[in-house]
Amino acid sequence: MKDLREFMDSTYLKTAEQAGLSEVENKKVVTELIQEAIDEHFKLAMIRPEEVKAGRALVDQHKAKVLLGTVIDFPAGDGGLEAKLKEAKQAVEDGVDELDYVVDYKAFQKGLIDQVKEEVKACTLYGLQAGKAVKWIIEVAALSHTDIIKLTTLIKNVVLSNCKETDYDKVFVKSSTGFYKTEGGKPNGATIETLVLMIENAGPLPVKAAGGIRDRQTAIEMITLGVKRLGTSSAKVIVEGTGSTENY
């Protein structure tokens, strides 16, 4: 197996309010996450859109190879195509490397399939044309197993119908935002069960697992399954083999 660091999308997506911090304190957490990703040679640092510009400056200052990713239409995914593209374009202008869009899974559940296909097509093509990797977060905790299969297949089919074969490995299907509220203590992120469904139906597109990945054993199990990237706020403790109580 490759170095676990090569799979790590080290992630911090809380607003200051969500973290119970001041804006200054929250920005410090973001800076520390990016610095750790640089020092540990993680694949990517995943941050909120408003933090990308400063993050780009920090990475460039260190002449580091770590990529910068951000989330688009996060976490609900129901802002509409125009809002998604506007946010993505700003992130690209600010220097992002990868765009993790939240698919409008609620529209999908309502049967608005053409609307979802249009968003996936337009946003994917925009990202690829801008030279960026694209990931589609489907929010597995909000979906039935049947819906996971159908939505993963929808994304795959849109990409295969509209993109070059050489771009397939740049468009991921991603499990979760990590912010979905579940009931009864159910997982709100990636599970082996849901990842199997995604991997079986996404190929040749790669799959990213995110949400609830807190230990090395789970990370290795998911990578062995076929996952190509791991989104986690516990990247360092995972590669070091220690545990974590973080919720993403």
- Reading the chain (248 residues) residue by residue, the pLDDT tens digits are 678 999 999 999 999 999 999 999 999 999 999 999 999 999 999 999 999 999 999 999 999 999 999 999 999 999 999 999 999 999 999 999 999 999 999 999 999 999 999 999 999 999 999 999 999 999 999 999 999 999 999 999 999 999 999 999 999 999 999 998 888 778 888 999 999 999 999 999 999 999 988 899 999 999 999 999 999 999 999 998 865 555 55
Q: Tell me what pLDDT residue 96 has.
A: 98
Q: Torsion angle, CA of 69/177/193/142, rounded to 10 degrees?
A: -150
Q: Tell me what pLDDT residue 182 has.
A: 83
User: Would you say residue 246 lies in a domain?
Assistant: no
User: Would you say residue 18 lies in a domain?
Assistant: yes
Boundaries of domain holding 50 = 4-240
User: Would you say residue 248 lies in a domain?
Assistant: no
Instruction: Report the alpha-carbon distance of residue 46 to residue 100 in Å, rounded.
Output: 9
Q: Tell me what pLDDT residue 187 has.
A: 80
Q: Of all residues in the chain, what percent are helix, strand and coil, respectively (each to 5)?
A: 50, 15, 35
User: Would you say residue 88 lies in a domain?
Assistant: yes
Q: How many domains does the chain have?
A: 1
User: Would you say residue 45 lies in a domain?
Assistant: yes
- In terms of Cα–Cα distance, which of 38, 32, 41, 46 is closest to 3? 41
Q: What is the DSSP letter of 233?
A: S
User: Would you say residue 136 lies in a domain?
Assistant: yes
pTM, rounded to two decimals: 0.95
User: Would you say residue 160 lies in a domain?
Assistant: yes
User: 204 with 157: CB under 8 angstroms?
Assistant: no
User: 206 with 230: CB under 8 angstroms?
Assistant: no
Q: Tell me what pLDDT residue 186 has.
A: 83
User: Would you say residue 247 lies in a domain?
Assistant: no
Q: Which residues are catalytic?
A: 100, 174, 208
Secondary structure (3-state) at 156: helix
The CATH number of the domain holding residue 142 is: 3.20.20.70
Q: Tell me what pLDDT residue 77 has.
A: 97
- The vertex-117 CA angle with 172 and 232, nearest 5°, equals 30
